Amino acid sequence: MSYRCGIGYDLHRLAEGRKLIIGGIEVPFDKGPVGHSDGDVVAHAMCDALFGAAGLGDIGTHFPDTDPKWKGANSLLFLEHARKLLDEKHLTIEHVDVVVILEKPKLGPHCPKMREVLAKSLGVSAEKVHLKAKTNEGVDAVGRGEAIAAHVVATLSS
Give the interface with Zn ion as residue ranges (CB under 5 A): 10, 44
Name the closest residue to Zn ion (Cβ): 44
CA distance 31 to 16: 4
State the nearest-atom distance from the C-beta of 7 to Zn ion, in Å. 15
- Residue (39 or 93) nearer to Zn ion, CB: 39
* Cβ pair 42, 11 in contact under 8 A: no
Alpha helix stretches (DSSP H) within 55-108: 59-62, 76-88
State the nearest-atom distance from the C-beta of 127 to Zn ion, in Å. 26
- Residue (12 or 115) nearer to Zn ion, CB: 12
CA distance 10 to 109: 22
* Cβ pair 64, 97 in contact under 8 A: no
State the nearest-atom distance from the C-beta of 42 to Zn ion, in Å. 9
- Residue (101 or 138) nearer to Zn ion, CB: 101
Rg (CA), the chain: 15
Q: How many CB atoms lie within 10 A of CB 83?
A: 18
- Residue (38 or 103) nearer to Zn ion, CB: 38
State the nearest-atom distance from the C-beta of 152 to Zn ion, in Å. 12
